[in-house]
């Protein structure tokens, strides 16, 4: 994106904001705004990995940011490419180019940015390739499938100096910022315990299925990429890849990066001193998934402990919430999740023996029902691109790496079955070859781990 284009886009965004149109535009007004933007002044975006959150991210850009134009889609599944091409055409009246190999997309001239929403095991390769091709990147969470890859990606972003936003969109949520300001006021007193959790009642057992032939139009070898060579099995494909160690880290990294990110952000922490974890396949011991459906992990930081827990098939989590983060202080507990936040005060007896709150009761600070934090996260990414200023990002790659590395530490502790101790200066576990082996990526099938 040239400096003249960047200047134009900044002015366009400012004009929209001044007119009250940057946040919400009626469809007709939005379409008129799109038509007024010269094709040469658009931000040309490509999507790599077009199902699930990939389409959610792209759709939010196309329906909330008039400057964005989708010019290309890349996916190993032709049926997905055809479906999303039709979706883009319906929204914007023009079909993007299709690619089965993302590397061919990255050769396109005039492509400004890519959205990466593949399975986790592909994130590192694609992000490094995109940066080396001069593209800005919006990468889905978790940042990578190993601690080693997180560090490589972070180094690559520093080397190339492009804008990289990670899809931990809770960082763009207004009510999370309100809760953060309350916590920083000090009213909760000393906080010595933080709880994070994800109870996923909708998750049923993954039924055992036999290996099969890949669906027609699917480049399965490309889907596997650097992961171990295995026969195609429908359980491992598309959404359920999350529950297999070859491609992802289960709920610990899928949901954990969201909640752990908020916990560490509020507490101003980055790396634990130790981690211990316990759990397993306790809900569905005989289903086809690999990652634990029940897990507790305790992270020890300098001034507080953090407890992560997840469970499938159960919705009744801590404080009656399916997911959230609780900051437990001497005078009260702040609980925040995607619906809003609240403060539960501690009580004490006054000199007359009457029970009273130690701090003000704030029972229901609700999220704005009209808020779209995924769209806000996308706008933040585009604004940082327009200004060419990574400091504007709500969740840059450094932030994404901290959350992902902490989550992967929880899985390392689970796999070793013991308490592991982290050396932040060295970026390794202390005196623990097995734990350190689990931090590394194992690329196969001729694919090479990037080096930065």
pLDDT in tens, 236-290: 999 999 999 999 999 999 999 999 999 999 999 999 999 999 999 999 999 999 9
**Long-range contacts for 355-360 (Cβ within 8 Å, ≥24 apart)?**
357/332, 358/189, 358/330, 358/331, 358/332, 359/187, 359/188, 359/331, 359/332, 360/187
Q: At 20, is the pLDDT very low, low, confident or very high (cuts 50, 70, 90)?
A: very low
Task: Using a pLDDT cut of 70, give the percent of the chain over it.
Answer: 94
Domains 3-171+374-396 and 175-204+240-366+401-429 share a fold: no
Q: What was the pLDDT predicted at 248?
A: 98
Q: What was the pLDDT predicted at 350?
A: 86
pLDDT in tens, 121-134: 999 999 999 999 99
Taking the C-alpha atoms of residue 72 and residue 166, their distance in angstroms, rounded to an integer, is: 20
pLDDT at 7 over 70: no
Q: What was the pLDDT predicted at 164?
A: 98
- Fold of domain 3-171+374-396: Rossmann fold (3.40.50)
Parallel/antiparallel/unpaired status of strands 164-166 and 355-357: unpaired
- How far is C-alpha 368 from the geometric centre of its chain's CA atoms? 22
Q: At 27, is the pLDDT very low, low, confident or very high (cuts 50, 70, 90)?
A: low
Taking the C-alpha atoms of residue 267 and residue 181, their distance in angstroms, rounded to an integer, is: 12
Superfamily of domain 175-204+240-366+401-429: Dihydrodipicolinate Reductase; domain 2 (3.30.360.10)
Range from 14-18, 24-28, 31-35, 167-171 carrying the lowest mean pLDDT = 14-18
The residue among 345, 315, 319 whose CA lies nearest residue 330 is 345
pLDDT at 1 over 90: no
Q: Supply 333's token pair.
A: 């507990």
pLDDT at 233 over 70: yes
Q: What was the pLDDT predicted at 353?
A: 83
**What residue ranges do the domains of the chain occupy?**
3-171+374-396, 175-204+240-366+401-429
H helices present in 191-339, as ranges: 220-224, 250-254, 256-267
User: CB-side exposure of 226: number of CA atoms within 13 Å?
Assistant: 21
Strands in 143-219 per DSSP E: 164-166, 191-200
């Amino acid at each position: 994106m040239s400096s003249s284009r960047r200047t134009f886009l900044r002015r366009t965004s400012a004009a929209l904001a001044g007119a009250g149109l940057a946040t919400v535009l009626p469809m007709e007004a939005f379409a008129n705004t799109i038509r007024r933007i010269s094709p040469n002044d658009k931000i040309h975006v490509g999507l790599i990995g077009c199902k699930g959150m990939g389409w959610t991210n792209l759709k939010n850009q196309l329906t909330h940011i008039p400057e964005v134009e989708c010019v290309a889609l890349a996916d190993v599944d032709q049926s997905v490419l055809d479906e999303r091409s039709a979706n883009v055409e319906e929204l914007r009246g023009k079909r993007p180019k299709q690619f089965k190999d993302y590397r061919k997309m990255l050769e396109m001239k005039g492509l400004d940015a890519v959205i990466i929403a593949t399975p986790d095991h592909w994130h590192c390769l694609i992000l490094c390739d995109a940066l080396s091709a001069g593209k800005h990147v919006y990468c889905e969470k978790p940042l990578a499938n190993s601690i080693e890859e997180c560090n490589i990606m972070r180094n690559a972003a520093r080397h190339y100096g492009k804008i990289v936003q990670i899809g931990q969109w809770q960082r763009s949520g207004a009510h999370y910022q309100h809760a953060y300001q309350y916590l920083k006021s000090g009213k909760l007193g000393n906080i010595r315990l933080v709880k994070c959790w994800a109870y996923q009642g909708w998750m049923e057992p993954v039924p055992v299925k036999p290996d099969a032939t890949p669906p027609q139009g699917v480049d399965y070898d490309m889907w596997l990429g650097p992961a171990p060579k295995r026969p195609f099995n429908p359980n491992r494909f598309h959404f359920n890849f999350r529950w297999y160690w070859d491609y992802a880290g289960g709920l610990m990294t899928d949901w954990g990066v969201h909640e752990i990110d908020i916990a560490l952000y509020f507490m101003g922490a980055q790396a634990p001193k130790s981690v211990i974890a316990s759990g397993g396949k306790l809900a569905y011991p005989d289903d086809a998934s690999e990652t634990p459906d029940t897990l507790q992990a305790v992270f020890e930081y300098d001034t507080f402990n953090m407890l992560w827990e997840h469970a499938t098939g159960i919705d009744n989590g801590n404080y009656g919430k399916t997911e959230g983060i609780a900051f437990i202080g001497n005078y009260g507990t702040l609980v925040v999740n995607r619906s809003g936040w609240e403060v539960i005060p501690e009580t004490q007896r006054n000199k007359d023996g009457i029970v009273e709150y130690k701090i003000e009761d704030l029972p229901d600070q609700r999220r704005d029902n009209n808020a779209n934090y995924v769209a806000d996260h996308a706008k933040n990414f585009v604004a940082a691109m327009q200004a060419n200023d990574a400091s504007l990002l709500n969740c840059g790659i450094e932030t994404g790496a901290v959350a992902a590395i902490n989550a992967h530490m929880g899985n390392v502790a689970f796999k070793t079955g013991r308490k592991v101790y982290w050396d932040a200066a060295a970026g390794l576990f202390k005196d623990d070859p097995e734990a350190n082996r689990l931090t590394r990526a194992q690329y196969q099938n001729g694919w090479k781990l990037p080096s930065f």
